[in-house]
Amino acid sequence: MFSSKIKDGFRRLVQPAVALYIKLKIHPNAITLIGFLISCVSGYFYSQGSFMLGSAILILSGIHDTFDGMVARQTNKVSLFGAFFDSNMDRFNEFAVLYGIGYFFVDWGMNLFAYCTFASIFFSVMISYARARAEGLQIKCSEGLMGRVERVVFIAVISFLPLNIFQYMIILYTVLTFITVIQRIVIVKMAITNKEVK
């Protein structure tokens, strides 16, 4: 109930922006693309070492990510392709930000942290793939330490830390995303085993 109130409050807060998109007759899929461009801007600032600015834009991107669905529902333009397109663009959004962070580490010769960042891109994709593949088997698999929202929040928060702490938090981020992949594999394995037993 408390979570529902928060969501309702958030929707009321962003409704003016949603209403503007509707007034301008911008298609939900175009809004999704705009969100990707915002993520690219965030990634650029990360690549330049402007972590706090990159984080602020990342948060803006996260908020904006809700607009396409709201516009689609309020204009009766909800579609299967729209959901598919949005899900795929979410992966591009993550890539843009993490690539920017990885680029920064490469540029500064911090190769260990660059490798970890690029590995986390792979693990993030695998987290989403595991869920999608599980759903193809009619198995719910949204659990795990680092869902998409958790990943965005984690990166946004650690971006306000000093670099000598941020770099090690990136290693932690990579480890947590890897653990989440393993968690989802185990969840699916257990679900399949339970189905076979029944």
Q: What span, in angstroms and rounded, lies between the C-alpha atoms of 76 and 22?
A: 11
* Stretch 25-46: mean pLDDT: 97
For 59, the token pair is: 């948060």
pLDDT level of residue 2 (50, 70, 90 thresholds): very low
pLDDT level of residue 8 (50, 70, 90 thresholds): confident
pTM: 0.92
Where b means 16+ CB within 10 Å and e means fewer, 175-188 reads: bbbbebbebbeebb
All domains of the chain, ordered by start, with CATH? 2-197 (1.20.120.1760)
Task: Please answer whether residues 106 and 114 qualify as being in contact, where contact means their C-beta atoms are separated by less than 8 angstroms.
Answer: yes
Q: Dump pLDDT digits (tens) for 83-111.
A: 999 999 999 999 999 999 999 999 999 99
Q: Dump pLDDT digits (tens) for 40-57.
A: 999 999 999 999 999 999
Neighbours of 130 (CB within 10 A): 20
Q: Is 174 exposed, middle or buried (CB count within 10 Å of its CB: 0-12, 13-18, 19+)? A: buried
Q: Does pLDDT of 198 surpass 60?
A: no
CA distances from residue 82 to 30, 69, 86, 89, 160 in whole angstroms, order as listed: 10, 9, 6, 10, 34
